[in-house]
Amino acid sequence: MGPEGGFLGSGQVHVILWGSLAAMTTLLFLTFLIFLCSSCNREKKAKHQNGDHENLMNVPSDKEVFSHSITSLATEPPPSSDQNGALSNGEVVSEDSTTACIQPYEEVQTSDLLDQQDSLGKSIKCHQSRELPSIPPNNTMETIISARNAENDQGLGMEGPYEVLKDSSSQENIVEDCLYETVKEIKDVGAAASMEGSCNSKSKALLTTSEGQNQIPECRIESAEYASVDRNKKSRQSANSESPLENTPDVEDELPPPVPMKLLDENENVQEKEVEEEVTEGASKPEKRLSSMSYKSREEDPSLTEDEAASIKREMTFPAFQQEDVKSDISQKLPDQQFLLFTTKEEDLKTAETKKPNRAHEYEKENTRSVCLLEQKRKVVSSNIDVPPARKSSEELDMDKVTAAMVLTSLSTSPLVRSPPVRPNESLNGSWKEGGFVPSSTSSSGYWSWNAPSDQSNPSTPSPPLSADSFKAFRTPSQPDDGIDEAETSNLLFDEPIPRKRKNSMKVMFKCLWKNCGKVLSTAAGIQKHIRNIHLGRAGESDYSDGEEDFYYTEIRLNTDSVADGLSSLSPVSPSLASPPSFPTQDTIRPETSCAKTETKLMTPLSRSAPTNLYLVHTDHAYQATPPVNIPGSTKFTPNGSSFSISWQSPPVTFTGIPVSPTHNRPAGSGEQKQSHTVLSSPPRVAFGLRKPRGEGKKCRKVYGMENRDMWCTACRWKKACQRFID
DNA sequence: CGTGCCGGGCT
DNA sequence: AGCCCGGCACG
Ligand SMILES: [Zn+2]
């Protein structure tokens, strides 16, 4: 335009021309600037993808969509979106850039794999869970993996450039996420570490930059995570439905669990710093915070990383938006308390499990934020969570650790256990999620558990007995709340007898982990309700459950030789809730149960006086997966005493009880039992009889035949419970 | 009776 | 630990 006009006219025209030129120039300049921001990212992205990404290309996953919308708002949307069809991903500048460090491959995984095959996605993400049915070894898996690796490599290489570009988006979150995911998936510590370093530096520098942008990226990241999470869940479901999916046996079989749980590592310093930063920035990151908040709350409970992810995801979906406003405020407030808590937790976790530092960081951050948010929310709402702001004592720390461990364990375990004993649920609902419940905790928990597979990977640190003592101390004081139960009473396990009790009956009860509430209900729904109404202060929302409740209760399995007693006592338990009295509610239990958030197996009362709890976890064989972890029941929230032992296979599980008190479970009726106060009771001891239903599914032996014994999973080869085909 | 796998034993 | 296997429970 400019030039042309110039040529045509010469006199005044000039002036006009100049004016127009100036205007144009300005516009162009502005446009250019705008593009720069976005383009940088894209370009990088493009490089990335061009190199090899078929996978990336595909993806239009949820998160992407999400990110898009966000991006558009914040940055310049039109061009980016239109320009690159292929780069749809790239579009989200912030996203990619953010993710770039690590996420690329993740995205791929998530979107591609998931979309393409739920089952696959699941397997990949969850590797851990048992050995997957490898029956049909898939090439796909390998392909994916290779692709992933390639991506990762690229990602690393790209870092440099990314940094520059990224700035806007980059932030702690990003880094964290990236790291986190990367770690999960890759396990490549070394790589992760390097990435972290770069990312961190970037993020810090950038932090100062624009907040608005930051938000976007964060969202993205989160969304990404969520997406992945979802996928996992879904995949998990599918997996459940069909145990024999396609995974390659080899890969999974004995792969270390990819992402068992969060592990804390070193770098406390980093965490703290990050936290601080977050606080400062808090406002900028709303969604994330929110999600984290949910976490936090759970954290008190026994939730794990994975759980968090799940929870986050949920929260993000709904509440996050609403809360954003609040969040900003909250973030500022982010009280030291939370900080402390968070730190503590982190430490605990670390101690418990040291695997991937990167992940830990992320986790921490999330936790912190989430906590703050959560707390804030809660306050607003009504009730406070027990989480004690001040938890300083070392003891407390221990507790946390223990709790964390428990949670992890339980999570990981539960799925496996799925135990038959529980009986029922599965049959009732074919699809977990389908049921309304699913979304809430149940699904997540279940899902996680599956994944959690921490079986192998989590080397959770076993905190054995020590935990018990420490716990006791804590609990004792708090113990009797009187009102509620205390119920828990402890448990003992039976050490003695029962040679094999597989066949006894198991009962499943749900216990409230709220600090002073020991309520035990027969149905999951009941507890959820209880928690929601009483502890969370959400009476009104009865139906709506965001899944948070899940974190506050655990599934307890009672098996007794003389179950009747224990059960009887228990069953009546829930007064408040409407839960149906029958505890064996198969219906109520639903999948969740089966998935089991946490399964605690027996509880026996040690002595009422001392509500100590002991857990012993007993793991049979390494191959089985869950590492033996002893977790103190409710460290955080809990209560007084609950201790449970978790075992992963419920039936056969053997616990060693700690015979602290003379009384054991065995004697069924001895006086101890009766303590129940008004509300619940604790089951005195329950002994369970377990029965082992024997899964009907075919196991390796049958599937592959005796001739191909080498194809069996190790467990089968050893004549142990099959890891590959879980019932 | 075949299968699944616990509980042990050996290495 | 890893590897095996006797033997029991289950269907
Ligand atoms: Zn097997």
| Integer Cα distance of A235 and A247 in angstroms | 12
- Protein-proximal positions, strand B, CB < 7 A: 3-8
> pLDDT by residue (tens digit) across A224-274?
333 333 333 333 333 333 333 333 333 333 333 332 332 333 233 333 333
| Integer Cα distance of A651 and A331 in angstroms | 46
Confidence of residue A521 (pLDDT cuts 50, 70, 90): confident
Ligand 1 center–CA A256 separation, angstroms: 17
Taking ligand 1, which is a single-atom ion, which protein residues have CB atoms under 5 Å away? Answer: A 699-700, 713, 716, 722, 724
The pLDDT score that the predictor gives to residue A723 is 85
CA to C1' distance (Å), from A468 to C2: 31
Range with top average pLDDT, A62-71, A193-202, A425-434, A705-714: A705-714
The pLDDT score that the predictor gives to residue A345 is 35
| Integer Cα distance of A584 and A688 in angstroms | 14
Q: Going by DSSP bridges, is the β-strand pair A553-559/A520-521 parallel, antiparallel, or unpaired?
A: unpaired
Confidence of residue A410 (pLDDT cuts 50, 70, 90): very low
| Integer Cα distance of A607 and A684 in angstroms | 9
CA to C1' distance (Å), from A117 to B9: 44
Helices (DSSP H) in A532-625: which residue ranges? 563-570, 586-595
Ligand 1 center–CA A412 separation, angstroms: 18
| Integer Cα distance of A26 and A16 in angstroms | 15
Ligand 1 center–CA A139 separation, angstroms: 21
Ligand 1 center–CA A624 separation, angstroms: 11
CA to C1' distance (Å), from A708 to B7: 25
Closest CA to A88 of A66, A108, A64: A64
CA to C1' distance (Å), from A713 to C3: 13
Ligand 1 center–CA A702 separation, angstroms: 9
CA to C1' distance (Å), from A702 to C11: 15
**Cα–chain-centroid distance for residue A200?**
24
Closest CA to A399 of A352, A356, A360: A352
> pLDDT by residue (tens digit) across A318-342?
333 333 333 333 333 333 333 333 3
The pLDDT score that the predictor gives to residue A593 is 33
> pLDDT by residue (tens digit) across A14-35?
555 566 656 766 666 666 656 6
Confidence of residue A652 (pLDDT cuts 50, 70, 90): very low
Average pLDDT over residues A518-530: 77
Ligand 1 center–CA A696 separation, angstroms: 13
CA to C1' distance (Å), from A307 to C3: 36
> pLDDT by residue (tens digit) across A68-101?
333 333 333 333 333 333 333 333 333 333 333 3
The pLDDT score that the predictor gives to residue A464 is 34
User: In the numeric block, which tokens belong to residue A400?
Assistant: 């946390």
Residue A609 has pLDDT above 80, yes or no: no
Eight-class DSSP state of A108:
I
| Integer Cα distance of A484 and A516 in angstroms | 7
Q: Which residue is nearest to nucleotide B2 (CA to C1')?
A: A702
Confidence of residue A550 (pLDDT cuts 50, 70, 90): confident
Name residue A554's amino acid: T
The pLDDT score that the predictor gives to residue A641 is 32
User: Rounded to 5 degrees, what are φ and ψ at A725?
Assistant: -110, 105
Between the alpha carbon of residue A566 and those of residues A311, A517, A583, A669, A680, the distances in Å are: 33, 19, 12, 9, 12
